[in-house]
Amino acid sequence: MRELENWWDANRPTARTTFKEAFSTLVGHISRMPGIGRPCDDIQLPGVRRLLIEGTPYAVFYTVDHEATEVFVAAVWSRARGSSPRVR
């Protein structure tokens, strides 16, 4: 994740926010509304949802453990890569 943050900051100096800020905002949305992301039926891990990180070409793929009240980020993936990541 740090590598992605560093690349974004170095190569997107005119971006409205840093990648870290955009990711933190998204995590806040997920923590308040865990079902906000779109379900991903094309990923082998059950219950995976996808949510775009605003202002970036990236999406976060995550699952929610409602009993433990935890969110697990399975992948951060660029839409430029095409299909969904291989998450298990």
Give the model confidence (pLDDT) of 65-85 as tens digits: 888 788 888 888 887 776 666
Q: How far is CA 48 from the centre of its chain?
A: 11
- Domain range list for the chain: 2-81
Q: How far is CA 88 from the centre of its chain?
A: 16
26-61 pLDDT per residue, tens:
989 998 999 999 998 877 778 899 999 888 888 899
**Domain 2-81 = CATH 3.30.2310:** yes
pLDDT for the residue numbered 62: 92
pLDDT for the residue numbered 39: 92
> Please, where are the H alpha helices in the chain?
2-11, 19-32
- Say if residue 87's pLDDT is above 70: no
